[in-house]
Structure 1
Amino acid sequence: MTDTHTMASAGGETKSRSMLTWILGALSIFAPFSTDMYLSGFNLMASDFDTSMSQVQLSLSTFFVGMAIGQLLYGPLIDRYGRRVPLLGGVALFIVTSLAILYVLNIEGLIGLRFFQAIGGCSGMVISRAIIQDLFDEQEAAKALSLMMVVQTVGPITAPVIGAYLLVFGGWKAVFTFLVAFGVICWLITAKWVPESLPVERRQKQNIGEMMTVFKRFLCDWRFMSPTLAGSFSNSVMFCFITGSPFVLMQLFGMGRETYGWMFSGTAAGMVITSQANRMLLKRFTPKLLFTASIIISLVASVALVLVRNTDQLWLFMIPLFVCVSMVPMVCANSIAIAMSVSGRDAGSASSLVGVCQFAFAGAISAIVGALHNGTSLPMCGMILVCTVLAFVVNYLGHKAPAK
């Protein structure tokens, strides 16, 4: 009887953790929904605001900057005050700013609101990683993060398609109306189902200023910084694709708006495959081994992408591009698990640093892709190669560094 009860309890706990992981994954897709859904509507927004495409693109870069700064702020807050209240507050900020965007009168107002929308939206990403670190060890955390990546890829898969049809039937404001509704649903689910995972006795007692010194400790710890930097460079591949693909695929290869949305979704479907594969492979291999292997695969694919970039055959161009983008979840899930495993009681601050690196690099590299625009696919393809080379070098140096 006792054994049966124990097994039932264990099964219930596993089911509960699985459901929580799915919810945390949903809370982490504010970013792809807020970026990918309106990409093909840049020209409509430029027309409505009587401005240039480059000004509209600035709303994308500003969003990435807000994501980076927001994650820096949440780390100390959630280590001192717990996970639940800052999470609910962040989602509420996302809802309010998304609603305000519907009434903005000029492009400057849109850019400013996008900054604060990102600060609210990034709460789910930071706090979800911290909750997983509260509840799982490194191996199980890598599996949970892989499952989260599956949920997160719902954003890149569905956002371009949903966005394309919303733009056709309701214009760009329909996209932000959708974001308001999605935010409200996520807030209600969080309020009901996401528990507080950091007990009061485990919370940091220092003031916020003192807690900021924790960042210095992580920045000086190569065990943390090596996987964080390598993962951030690899994650930037996705943002090279997001920034460069509308021009490359719609202008150079002549895709229509709806076709582009479906293609984007097909590429994102590859991310689901690698996320699921990573979960299965973790039953036999360590996160460190899979991390290194996935970086090497990405590097080979990025070299191939540069070599075939001048082809007029779309399928030949898409194969290495598909591999490069698809490997991002495998690299990132394992890099985050490795980095967070050394965080100890400062999981919130560690999670925020991971996020800061990811989105600071994403914002900078997406801006570089835009600045290098020369009417060819080289800026996008070349920066993808640069990102994967840097990821490979940093990971190699991490293996060479002496362990503490």
Structure 2
Amino acid sequence: MPTLQRITSPARYQMILLTLLVLFSPLGIDIYLPALPLISETFHVEHALAKYTITVFLFSMGLGQLFAGPLADRYGRRTVALGGIILYCLSSLMAWQAHNIEWMLTARLMQGFGACATSVAAFATVRDVFGADKSGRMISYLNGAICFIPALAPILGSYLTQAFSWRANFSFMVGYSLVAGAFIWRVMTETNPATEEDKQRPTFQMERYWSVIKNPVFLFHASLCMLAMAVILSYVTSAPLVLMERLGLSMNSFTFWFGINAALNIVACMTAPKIMDKLGTHRAIILGIILLGIAGALMVLLSGQQSALRFMLPIFISSIGFAWVLGASAGKALAPFGDRAGIAAALLGLLQMSGSGFIVMAIQSLDVTPYWHITIQMWLLLPGLAILFSPIGKKWHQWVLEP
């Protein structure tokens, strides 16, 4: 049995490294949200087309997982992380100097591939370093760190947009890539537990993907992660339309409400590990889904009242449910895999990004109001309660973990 190589960086650097890696994704979405209306005006396109810059980013971030995962298992987490940072930096430069929506969409497509590489490297490293038992708790802490971006990025993005232009947001992404990349290059060490024999196998093997997908523990918990992510994605894409266009809020007011929710999400994610310790991951997921169901009901009941508070109150409740579901479910989805942690993290990311994006677009095609759009996303998790209470669901949740 190969000995698992642990990270040799000082302990205080571990969470810093992982946090720097996972922040590429939310930074690529949240910082320029207040600038979406200006991007529409600059390129003379409808707001709906400007929102595709978010969808394209998420699509490529999800699709890229299929390649980043095996590459991380074959060539190492550090190599894939640095490659993703370089691609992210170059594509941010492309977006900064884009002169039409087609050029912008191309840049965002490439940027998503870069972000997916850093994300896969981060979550595979979590599984390498902290093992099966502690991964869920560490993922919750990382999710809490990720939520700092929705809290702070729109504030920064609003300032950059008003003081300079919307292009300044992508200049910031370039700067972040350079700083984070230098730190990762200098400090990050390899944690990949694969043996030399493992590395000699073909990089892309369908059976390795299939061995993860057919695992019922992974499939069930990854599906919960996907549906929970769809709730957040539906909120992120709908909030600018509801708050700024329908309710007439200013860019600063939009940033205020967006930041409050992000701050609440931070608290929820940071306290989720304690909730899991006290109640167990099974109960934490159940309570999280129940909160999402309640939030959906409130969204419908308050939809006739046109105010920011009535729109955001259900979102506040859903943020707590989201944190509990995602933290516990993500850890459980990755738990059965050791040397395939890269592929498992990649497939989990694929479902979270591309899968949730597909669900959101499918619901959007129903031509429902933003309120019903978000509500439907929340209620899609409710059938999971029946599975969680069933004997088979309890068996999946208590699966014997691979060391």
Fold similarity call, TM over 0.5: yes
User: Please, which moves more after superposition, 304-313 or 242-251?
Assistant: 304-313
1:6 corresponding residue in structure 2: none
Matched, 1:172 2:144: no
Matches within 5 A, 1:313-324: 313-324=307-318
Choose which of 197, 206, 215 in structure 1 pairs with 2:201: 206
1:32 corresponding residue in structure 2: 26
1:66 corresponding residue in structure 2: 60
Q: CA RMSD in A?
A: 2.3
Matched, 1:283 2:302: no
Query: Matched residues in 2 for 1:14 and 1:301: separation?
Result: 44
How many pairs were matched up? 390
- How far did residue 298 of structure 1 move? 1.8
Change (3 A) 1:56 1:313: closer
1:347 corresponding residue in structure 2: 341
- How far did residue 381 of structure 1 move? 2.9
List per-residue Cα deviations over 1:130-153 (Å, max 9, x = no partner).
Answer: 111111133321221122112111
- 1:24–1:124 CA contact under 8 A, matched in 2: no
SS at the partner of 1:209? coil
Code of the residue aligned with 2:87 in structure 1: it is L
SS at the partner of 1:136? helix
Query: Matched residues in 2 for 1:378 and 1:199: separation?
Result: 46
Choose which of 270, 278, 302 in structure 1 pairs with 2:264: 270
1:300 corresponding residue in structure 2: 294
SS at the partner of 1:296? helix
1:387 corresponding residue in structure 2: 380
2:111 corresponding residue in structure 1: 117
Code of the residue aligned with 1:339 in structure 2: it is A
Query: Matched residues in 2 for 1:220 and 1:153: separation?
Result: 31
Query: Matched residues in 1 for 2:305 and 2:214: separation?
Result: 44
1:378 corresponding residue in structure 2: 371
Choose which of 88, 96, 99 in structure 2 pairs with 1:105: 99
User: Please, which moves more after superposition, 131-140 or 231-240?
Assistant: 131-140
Change (3 A) 1:341 1:331: same
Choose which of 236, 239, 243 in structure 2 pairs with 1:242: 236
- How far did residue 113 of structure 1 move? 1.3
SS at the partner of 1:388? coil
Code of the residue aligned with 2:80 in structure 1: it is P
- How far did residue 283 of structure 1 move? 3.3
- 1:227–1:338 CA contact under 8 A, matched in 2: yes
Change (3 A) 1:367 1:77: same
- How far did residue 31 of structure 1 move? 1.9
Change (3 A) 1:158 1:394: farther
Code of the residue aligned with 1:167 in structure 2: it is T
Code of the residue aligned with 2:101 in structure 1: it is I
1:91 corresponding residue in structure 2: 85
SS at the partner of 2:97? coil
Code of the residue aligned with 2:157 in structure 1: it is G
- How far did residue 14 of structure 1 move? 12
Structure 2 gaps of 5+ residues are 1-6
- How far did residue 348 of structure 1 move? 0.5
Query: Matched residues in 1 for 2:81 and 2:387: separation?
Result: 32
Query: Matched residues in 1 for 2:211 and 2:284: separation?
Result: 27
Change (3 A) 1:370 1:174: farther
User: Please, which moves more after superposition, 337-346 or 275-284?
Assistant: 275-284
Query: Matched residues in 1 for 2:137 and 2:378: separation?
Result: 28
- 2:292–2:317 CA contact under 8 A, matched in 1: yes
- 1:84–1:196 CA contact under 8 A, matched in 2: yes
1:4 corresponding residue in structure 2: none
Q: What is the TM-score when the length of structure 2 is the normalising length?
A: 0.90
List per-residue Cα deviations over 1:242-276 (Å, max 9, x = no partner).
Answer: 01111112233332111101110110111111112
1:162 corresponding residue in structure 2: 156
